[in-house]
Amino acid sequence: MKLELRDITKKFGGFTANQNVNLTVEPHQIHCLLGENGAGKSTLMNVLYGLYEPTSGSIEIDGEPVTFSGPGEAMAAGIGMVHQHFMLVPVFTVAENVALGNEATKGVGLDLNTTRNRIREISDRYGFQVDPDAIVEDLPVGVQQRVEIIKALVREAEVLILDEPTAVLTPKETDELLNIMRQLRDNGTSIVFISHKLREVKAVSDVITVIRRGKVEGQVGPDTSTDELAALMVGRDVSLTVDKEPSNAIGSALEVTDLTVVGENGVVLVDNVSFAVAPGEILAVAGVQGNGQTELTEALVGLADHVSGSIKLEGQELAGRGVREVLSAGVGFVPEDRSTEGLVAPFSVSENLVLDRYKDREFASGPSLKLGAMRENAQQAVDSYDIRTGSVDAPVSTLSGGNQQKVVIARELSRPLKLFVASQPTRGVDVGSIEFIHKRIVAERDKGVPVIIVSTELDEVYALADRIAVFFHGRLMGIVPADTPRETLGRMMAGETADEVLPPAPWDDSHDQQQHEGTHTA
């Protein structure tokens, strides 16, 4: 089946997400859509899948124009999609999820046995190892993703769209997925692979279409160099590395000992973790999303319940304290999701900039706020952080993702800090803002502040880290130097400890002066 998109334009109000996009997916092909976050890749695919209606343009299958008023029609036409956020009902079994919308029936009743057999058949053919009767929420993400692929295959999809499928996977799971994609292609399914990760794109694609700001920037082969792809994707030459002097940090400002966080249901989210961070050092916490990093940061600022262990900042115990006490002890915190935790969307830029300081004398007299001082403060932040906004009184929700993130960073760095914790500081942020935010973080380090960065993007980890801590299933797999090879980190992210993956190298000695806690596993 040959799929063509012709002159697709999609507008949301005044914002053009896709402009005159042309794309042809040939049979037996892995076609990659490469572009930054927010370039319009997902919008395009949602148009193709019938979730959005294009403002103009047409879709053709084997030369025949088609229109989809909903995903049902797109599926009937042979298009399947694995969404970035899985579309699985967590409390259902695999079989129920696969059957949904495509149910086999026996009389008035549901016939799940037919579905179970189909799942086993597909699972055996591709080596998926999926149990049809497992409850989806109990499955690891990698397996959930296979359930999504099975859903598409059961519906006999000839074109399979994979939207950022590797974002939630370990490097090993990613390799497995890439193999599955090749296998599917060889069996006749065309694949549209949406990604912004250059390495994966080069590894698996037959054709690469680069999208920038909603427009097709060019079509290239997989042998194009990484630098060239990056330049096409971003629109200019980019250096993805951050200039920073090596850290000469000594001692420890933050000491975390035996930290354990237990979830409401008894799952140990952070498992007996101990580490220390020196003043003027960036400790980057790497790991696949959902391995305890979020809970670690929440525990550090006092947001988590069921915490045991000790968190000492310059000798002062923070564990068990409330959030306000922790913040006033000099901790700055950038939460992982700015829209739900970092900002109050309908509040203005200037209000958002004082969310943690509205009680200070600087901004309040008695029960009333000093609006003038707040505005002045905002103006300064806008100038020094290059926040692009029409006015400091504009609701923060009207800003782009990158500028919203700069508001959060500006607020957290505006106080004198003794510890800076940032979770996914550049998620969903354009490359220009990433460079800027990274520089600010390094500048904070150079002031002698201990910094903890949590990131699921290894590129970011390498760009910032002085040392790298790897988390897996809530456990600390070890702390390794910043020049540890990617493969080694990948193995640690999949559950091997530093002792297992690292040869007994001399680095232990050279770093002994600044790290005495070594590795720790449960």
User: Residues in the site for another protein, rule: CB under 8 A?
Assistant: 46, 49, 51-52, 70-73, 75-76, 81, 83, 87-92, 96-97, 99-103, 105, 108-110, 129, 138-140, 142-143, 151, 170, 172-173, 176, 260, 262-269, 271, 292, 305-306, 308, 473-474, 494-496, 522
CB of 496 to another protein, least distance (A): 8
* CB-nearer residue toward another protein: 214 or 332: 214
CB of 505 to another protein, least distance (A): 23
* CB-nearer residue toward another protein: 481 or 495: 495
Spatial distance between the Cα atoms of 468 and 466, rounded to a whole number of angstroms: 7
* CB-nearer residue toward another protein: 98 or 392: 98
* CB-nearer residue toward another protein: 443 or 522: 522
Q: Are 191 and 30 in contact (CB under 8 A)?
A: yes
CB of 333 to another protein, least distance (A): 23
Neighbouring-strand partners of residue 368: 365
CA distances from 264 to 92, 215, 381, 472 (A): 21, 46, 39, 20
Q: Positive or negative CA dihedral for 180, 184, 185, 190?
A: negative
- Look up residue 239 and give its two tokens: 């250096």
**Residue 25 CB contacts under 8 Å (≥ 6 apart), including other chains:** 2, 3, 4, 31, 159, 190, 192
* CB-nearer residue toward another protein: 33 or 147: 147
Q: In what order do the strands lie in the sheet with 190-195?
A: 79-82, 159-163, 190-195, 30-34, 207-212, 215-220
CB of 517 to another protein, least distance (A): 21
Q: Are 268 and 473 in contact (CB under 8 A)?
A: no
* CB-nearer residue toward another protein: 258 or 446: 258
* CB-nearer residue toward another protein: 266 or 390: 266
CB atoms within 10 A of CB 376: 14
Provide φ and ψ at 226, rounded to 5°: -60, -40
CB of 160 to another protein, least distance (A): 14
Provide φ and ψ at 48, rounded to 5°: -60, -35
Spatial distance between the Cα atoms of 288 and 495, rounded to a whole number of angstroms: 11
CB atoms within 10 A of CB 181: 22
| In the block, residue with structure tokens 């790897």 | 470
The DSSP letter of residue 348 is B
CB of 83 to another protein, least distance (A): 7
Provide φ and ψ at 275, rounded to 5°: -160, 170
CB of 172 to another protein, least distance (A): 7
CB of 410 to another protein, least distance (A): 31
CB of 91 to another protein, least distance (A): 6
Q: Are 232 and 217 in contact (CB under 8 A)?
A: yes
* CB-nearer residue toward another protein: 75 or 434: 75
- Look up residue 17 and give its two tokens: 């997400």
* CB-nearer residue toward another protein: 292 or 478: 292
* CB-nearer residue toward another protein: 153 or 220: 153
CA distances from 498 to 72, 425, 504 (A): 48, 26, 10
Spatial distance between the Cα atoms of 17 and 28, rounded to a whole number of angstroms: 28
CB of 340 to another protein, least distance (A): 15
Nearest of 207, 144, 149 to residue 183 by alpha carbon: 149
The β-bridge relationship of strands 159-163 and 79-82 is parallel
